[in-house]
Structure 1
Amino acid sequence: MTNADVAYLLHDGKNEIREIEPVINRKASAREQLTALFNDKKQAIEANIQATVEERNSILAQLQNIYDTAIGQIDQDRSNAQVDKTASLNLQTIHDLDVHPIKKPDAEKTINDDLARVTALVQNYRKVSDRNKADALKL
């Protein structure tokens, strides 16, 4: 092999190295997955009519915080393994996040309990005819 051959191989090798373009898609893919799940979860929370506005807003704030933290961490991650771990943990956290309505179901239970109590009182009241009882229960 001559010096000219070595020079040619070196030049050719440098050109091949210049043509290499790193594929940067691990972080982008993780961001896309998180964003898609974030948007789906946000819509589901907003559509939950059993929760009060305050309950929905509280869980939406938690969701936004988890999402923002995850995206920030992915930006800081330096290896594919770190990106995968961050994405996996936060995807699961977002998936598991849910509204647990308390106020409306409690109110409905109270109303139903009161209705059952009043219905029992009306039905057991002996001084009123069955027809009057039926009319009273229609209201």
Structure 2
Amino acid sequence: MTFTDEEIAYLRSQPLARFATLSADGEQPDVVPLSFEFDGTHFWVGGVGEAVLATRKFRNIQAGQRKVALVIDDMVSFDPFIARGVRIYGEAADPVERVGIVGPGGYARVTPTVSWSWNMAGEPVGETWYASRRAVHGAT
């Protein structure tokens, strides 16, 4: 399974994600907001300059904590209540030098393994909470 056309359009329309990693000792989760890219297969997170390579997210990944999570969501309206988003679990690779969304620098490639999306159509919530669509990525 893969992302639907509607999910891809949504992911490409959003400027911000929340990115979670786990500390080297596996004891402390860390989450940061950041810009991201989605190339249709992988997510790319990172930034400009060498200082980005010393950030906690990259230290955690380079320490072997490859399992990561991203949440890309937005609140369309509070009245009526309209929320939508995509949650992704994935595997991160060590950062590489590339030109990314914010310029040349260090970026880690995240390969999605499982995702959940909700309310891609942007509809108001009804009597029950939004149903989610679960997809396993890389499976045949």
**Shorter-chain TM-score category?**
under 0.3
| More helix, by proportion | 1
| More strand, by proportion | 2
Please say which structure displays the higher CA radius of gyration: 1
TM-score normalised by structure 1 residue count: 0.23
